[in-house]
Chains A and B, each alone.
Chain A
């Protein structure tokens, strides 16, 4: 079985662009969550979120068609991929492009409802009815000509493949927070199975739309009434009350270990294990699986599978990056899953959650948070969980407060759970100089 190694990462988050800015802010325990400025929130029930600031798309994207035909989140994705490839120092001219593939996890790409207002004005009949004939004759002219194009998750993937002439295998998922993690996991499998030498895995999302905000608020998932800001999102804390929606993108470059060796580098971290599962809870309904529902049985399965895949025992995991969505029920169910899968090791293994720092980046989170764990392994530092103060009896995790804590880290477990029940776990393993062998010992 071939091994897959991450050689470059790219981040576009509310804490900044690129690895350096994000890593410094994460280590210092900073939060990128704040008052929303992209639209008027004065008459909305929620006013905070994690916005990507100071992002100039044209600094990162040369193909001008992208600006017209792609959703904003795809701009972030293309920027993150560019950053990751630059960091990997891959000379694309020397790569067989049919062996270069792309895996994406895509989130919200729908238009903001306000974009439809001009169309609506032209489409409403005198009695206020939505008139389909008026839509065809008048309203249609006010629609974005790329309405359908933008709403397709393959649009971003297509632009990436064009930008880098990547004709290798593809994977395109839209399983919310888990989407990005699945993109990394499937990219790893594609390399393991020999279908590609290099894979780009990217997660991207922009949940900062009034309609998304309102729906999540209505479901009771969001933190922060009017007046609250940076400190509102408190994963794993006793006083947690929900997450803040955010946006961004994360991208990683994965290469086969042989390819990494050929290039004479050692890479950042190895993707060593991958597992999936499903928790049958959907807002409003519970599954027929009885106590499997709220207990995170699917997440526990995902973790067990990832550990088996990486051939690691629970006590060999040195840190856990949890989803930590910061809702009361979510963190509780996730912690039960972690405990069910890891047993006694769960309580003593340091845990970190990143929703306080970046907000909920949706499909991007699966990759951005995995990158944070990878950088932790590399630096030997466990990141603090932003806004964590008081432990909860429901969540008996070992959480780092304040600033990053040095530790000897060889492997990390990364857990992702999505809105809808999909969950994924990935095991990352540190690579030491010279220690990398292209084949697992038989």
Chain B
């Protein structure tokens, strides 16, 4: 194919967010820059008996207004509602007319995990006779299909595609905390390969539920800083003690560069690189030096054709667990060498909490804003340095600094990692750095079997 050497570039042309920091993308971005925490006491249910009683909830989401006219079945699951709202916002923001060519536009949405609701469990329990279910007396009456859709991973991606009217490639990304980032990486690849002109990509999750909270409390992965909700998520700080749950959705419109330019779309930034890897270490722990993180950052940089020294900012996975933040810091040092001391590292989860399947997408949108505006949101609650985390984490106050290249990390449970590379869109310069380099993976590779 003659198109190989002139690889298509991918532009971010629309964004939408529903997060604990705001109900739209601009609102969420403004709050991130102010350095405000979205964490508080859990209000979605009575969590007063749990070890962990805090989370970053989405507040004030008016689903009837945001989802007016949407097609869906029955009551929309909370996460899917956030996702539909964010997708609408992103498509409107991009000004993209999907109806003009529905088959050329795809959807790629990720989420992490789904458990049954207490309501569904009760309905089944009522029909259980000790050994098995008895559906002869009550029948299927009262068994609501929404309970099932709520648990299916593909619901969000399907509902978004139906509502924006996109018949192109449809991905259901399920890579735990990397789900949103993987969804965006897949969307970028689909455009690059010419399989789609535009992709509506992102992630959503709402895991602040009684069962999920129970399950995570058992695993002891959550912060117990209940007395100080706003200070609970403290990535890279010595006092960090675990994840603070969040919820929300982030969706962006990715578009083939020339297509975006021709129709005069506003371009937030270029999405230039995607890399994945597996730690192959332990399911519930990360290797001390973050080997898998090293591999996926390197792969994303190679994919983007960018030397490590060109990177100005890393939007860290930064979960605020002792293990992740140490390993991620070590991985950054390995990838960037002496340059690690010069680049900036920021952890949006300090304010957003861990929005799980949405995090990769929400934080990537924040990275696109950062690159566009030249503002790095802070890592808040950074008070006492950890000797093993000794980079510039943009402590507590946003910084204004020109940025050209940024890397977004998202590391999923079990060591399934994703990194993305975002570049500033320079007016008049097509595909900035892309044209200089061969596509990833040179053909001269030796045969591994020899």
Q: A143: nearest residue on chain B (CB-CB)? A: B214
Residue A282 interfacial (CB < 8 Å): yes
Q: What chain B residues lie within 8 Å of A225 (beta carbons)?
A: none
Question: How does the 8 Å CB contact mask read for B269-283 relative to A, with 1 for contact and 0 for none?
Answer: 000000111111111
Q: What chain B residues lie within 8 Å of A147 (beta carbons)?
A: 115, 211, 214-215, 218
Q: Say whether A276 contacts B145, CB under 8 Å.
A: no
Q: Say whether A167 contacts B173, CB under 8 Å.
A: no
Question: How does the 8 Å CB contact mask read for B164-189 relative to A, with 1 for contact and 0 for none?
Answer: 01111111111110100010001001
Question: How does the 8 Å CB contact mask read for B66-106 relative to A, with 1 for contact and 0 for none?
Answer: 00000111100000000000000000000000000011001
Q: B131: nearest residue on chain A (CB-CB)? A: A40
Q: Say whether B49 contacts A133, CB under 8 Å.
A: yes
Question: How does the 8 Å CB contact mask read for A156-169 relative to B, with 1 for contact and 0 for none?
Answer: 01110110111111
Residue A151 interfacial (CB < 8 Å): yes
Interface size on A, residues (CB 8 A): 111
Given A189-B193, A282-B159, A289-B165, A158-B415 contact (CB < 8 Å): yes
Q: What chain B residues lie within 8 Å of A120 (beta carbons)?
A: 121-122, 125
Q: Say whether A280 contacts B169, CB under 8 Å.
A: no
* Residue from the list A45, A65, A135, A145 in contact with B135, Cβ < 8 A: A45
In the bound complex, CA of A333 to CA of B272 (Å): 38
Residue A60 interfacial (CB < 8 Å): no
Given A148-B216, A170-B276, A211-B124, A154-B162 contact (CB < 8 Å): no
Residue B292 interfacial (CB < 8 Å): yes
Residue B48 interfacial (CB < 8 Å): yes
* Residue from the list A2, A130, A143, A155 in contact with B413, Cβ < 8 A: A155
Q: Say whether A135 contacts B170, CB under 8 Å.
A: no
Residue A195 interfacial (CB < 8 Å): yes
* Residue from the list B45, B102, B129, B182 in contact with A292, Cβ < 8 A: B102
Given A44-B135, A116-B121, A289-B165, A282-B158 contact (CB < 8 Å): yes
In the bound complex, CA of A374 to CA of B196 (Å): 28
CB distance from B154 to the nearest CB of A (A): 4
* Residue from the list B47, B113, B416, B439 in contact with A157, Cβ < 8 A: B416
Residue A64 interfacial (CB < 8 Å): no
Residue B195 interfacial (CB < 8 Å): yes
Q: Say whether B148 contacts A259, CB under 8 Å.
A: no
Q: What chain A residues lie within 8 Å of B133 (beta carbons)?
A: 40, 43-44, 114, 210, 214
Contacting residues of chain A (166-214) with chain B, CB-CB under 8 angstroms = 166-176, 179, 182, 186, 189, 193-195, 197-198, 210-212, 214
Given A161-B415, A162-B281, A276-B215 contact (CB < 8 Å): no
Q: B72: nearest residue on chain A (CB-CB)? A: A285
* Residue from the list A106, A117, A193, A289 in contact with B441, Cβ < 8 A: A193
Q: What chain A residues lie within 8 Å of B412 (beta carbons)?
A: 154, 172
Residue A287 interfacial (CB < 8 Å): yes
Residue A410 interfacial (CB < 8 Å): no
In the bound complex, CA of A214 to CA of B142 (Å): 12
Q: What chain A residues lie within 8 Å of B443 (beta carbons)?
A: 2, 194
Q: Say whether A195 contacts B278, CB under 8 Å.
A: no
* Residue from the list B120, B122, B132 in contact with A41, Cβ < 8 A: B132
Q: Say whether B165 contacts A218, CB under 8 Å.
A: no
Q: Say whether B172 contacts A422, CB under 8 Å.
A: yes
Q: Say whether B148 contacts A211, CB under 8 Å.
A: yes
Q: What chain A residues lie within 8 Å of B448 (beta carbons)?
A: 94-96, 99, 197-198, 259
Residue A418 interfacial (CB < 8 Å): yes
Contacting residues of chain A (286-304) with chain B, CB-CB under 8 angstroms = 286-289, 292, 297-298, 301
In the bound complex, CA of A277 to CA of B176 (Å): 24
Q: Say whether A45 contacts B140, CB under 8 Å.
A: yes
Question: How does the 8 Å CB contact mask read for B146-167 relative to A, with 1 for contact and 0 for none?
Answer: 0110011111011101110111
Q: What chain A residues lie within 8 Å of B178 (beta carbons)?
A: 154
Q: What chain A residues lie within 8 Å of B413 (beta carbons)?
A: 149, 152, 154-155, 158
Q: Say whether B193 contacts A136, CB under 8 Å.
A: no
CB distance from A334 to the nearest CB of B (A): 15
In the bound complex, CA of A420 to CA of B171 (Å): 11
In the bound complex, CA of A217 to CA of B120 (Å): 17
Q: What chain B residues lie within 8 Å of A162 (beta carbons)?
A: 280-283
Q: What chain B residues lie within 8 Å of A1 (beta carbons)?
A: 1, 4
Q: What chain B residues lie within 8 Å of A278 (beta carbons)?
A: 106-107, 158, 161, 166-170
In the bound complex, CA of A39 to CA of B128 (Å): 12
Q: What chain B residues lie within 8 Å of A212 (beta carbons)?
A: 148
Q: Say whether A262 contacts B450, CB under 8 Å.
A: yes
Q: What chain A residues lie within 8 Å of B147 (beta carbons)?
A: 215
Contacting residues of chain B (259-293) with chain A, CB-CB under 8 angstroms = 275-284, 291-292
Residue A219 interfacial (CB < 8 Å): yes
Q: Say whether A159 contacts B283, CB under 8 Å.
A: yes
In the bound complex, CA of A134 to CA of B210 (Å): 11
Chain A interface main SS type: mixed
Q: Say whether A110 contacts B115, CB under 8 Å.
A: yes
In the bound complex, CA of A287 to CA of B275 (Å): 34
Q: What chain B residues lie within 8 Å of A169 (beta carbons)?
A: 275-277, 299
In the bound complex, CA of A278 to CA of B4 (Å): 27
Residue A53 interfacial (CB < 8 Å): no
Residue A258 interfacial (CB < 8 Å): yes
In the bound complex, CA of A2 to CA of B439 (Å): 12
* Residue from the list A96, A137, A148, A418 in contact with B212, Cβ < 8 A: A148
Contacting residues of chain A (96-135) with chain B, CB-CB under 8 angstroms = 96-99, 101-102, 106, 110-111, 113-114, 116-117, 120, 130, 132-135
In the bound complex, CA of A127 to CA of B199 (Å): 49
Q: What chain B residues lie within 8 Å of A214 (beta carbons)?
A: 133, 135, 140, 143
In the bound complex, CA of A169 to CA of B441 (Å): 12
Q: Say whether B113 contacts A301, CB under 8 Å.
A: no
Residue A263 interfacial (CB < 8 Å): yes
Q: What chain B residues lie within 8 Å of A218 (beta carbons)?
A: 140, 143, 145
Q: Say whether B112 contacts A110, CB under 8 Å.
A: no
Residue B26 interfacial (CB < 8 Å): no
Residue A140 interfacial (CB < 8 Å): yes
Q: What chain A residues lie within 8 Å of B433 (beta carbons)?
A: none
Q: What chain B residues lie within 8 Å of A298 (beta carbons)?
A: 103, 167-168, 170
Q: Say whether B46 contacts A132, CB under 8 Å.
A: yes
* Residue from the list B129, B134, B212, B439 in contact with A194, Cβ < 8 A: B439
Residue A305 interfacial (CB < 8 Å): yes
Q: B167: nearest residue on chain A (CB-CB)? A: A298
Q: Say whether A173 contacts B449, CB under 8 Å.
A: no
Most buried by B among A162, A198, A275: A162
Interface residues of A (CB under 8 A from B): 1-2, 39-45, 65, 69, 91, 94-99, 101-102, 106, 110-111, 113-114, 116-117, 120, 130, 132-137, 139-140, 143, 145, 147-149, 151-155, 157-159, 161-162, 164-176, 179, 182, 186, 189, 193-195, 197-198, 210-212, 214-215, 217-219, 258-259, 262-263, 275-280, 282-289, 292, 297-298, 301, 305, 418-423
The 9 closest A-B pairs by CB, nearest first: A194-B441, A158-B414, A136-B49, A40-B132, A174-B153, A420-B154, A161-B278, A276-B169, A174-B174
17 extra interchain contacts, Cβ-Cβ under 8 A, other than A43-B133, A277-B168, A287-B71? A106-B174, A153-B176, A158-B413, A159-B414, A161-B278, A161-B415, A173-B171, A174-B173, A210-B133, A211-B116, A211-B124, A214-B143, A262-B447, A276-B106, A278-B161, A285-B162, A422-B171
Interface residues of B (CB under 8 A from A): 1, 4, 45-51, 71-74, 102-103, 106-107, 112-116, 118-122, 124-125, 128-129, 131-136, 140, 143, 145, 147-148, 151-155, 157-159, 161-163, 165-176, 178, 182, 186, 189-190, 193, 195, 210-212, 214-219, 275-284, 291-292, 295, 299, 412-417, 439-443, 445, 447-450
A-B contact pairs, 19 of them (CB 8 A): A40-B133, A45-B135, A110-B114, A116-B116, A116-B121, A136-B50, A151-B114, A158-B413, A161-B278, A161-B416, A167-B280, A170-B417, A174-B153, A215-B147, A280-B162, A285-B72, A288-B71, A301-B103, A420-B154
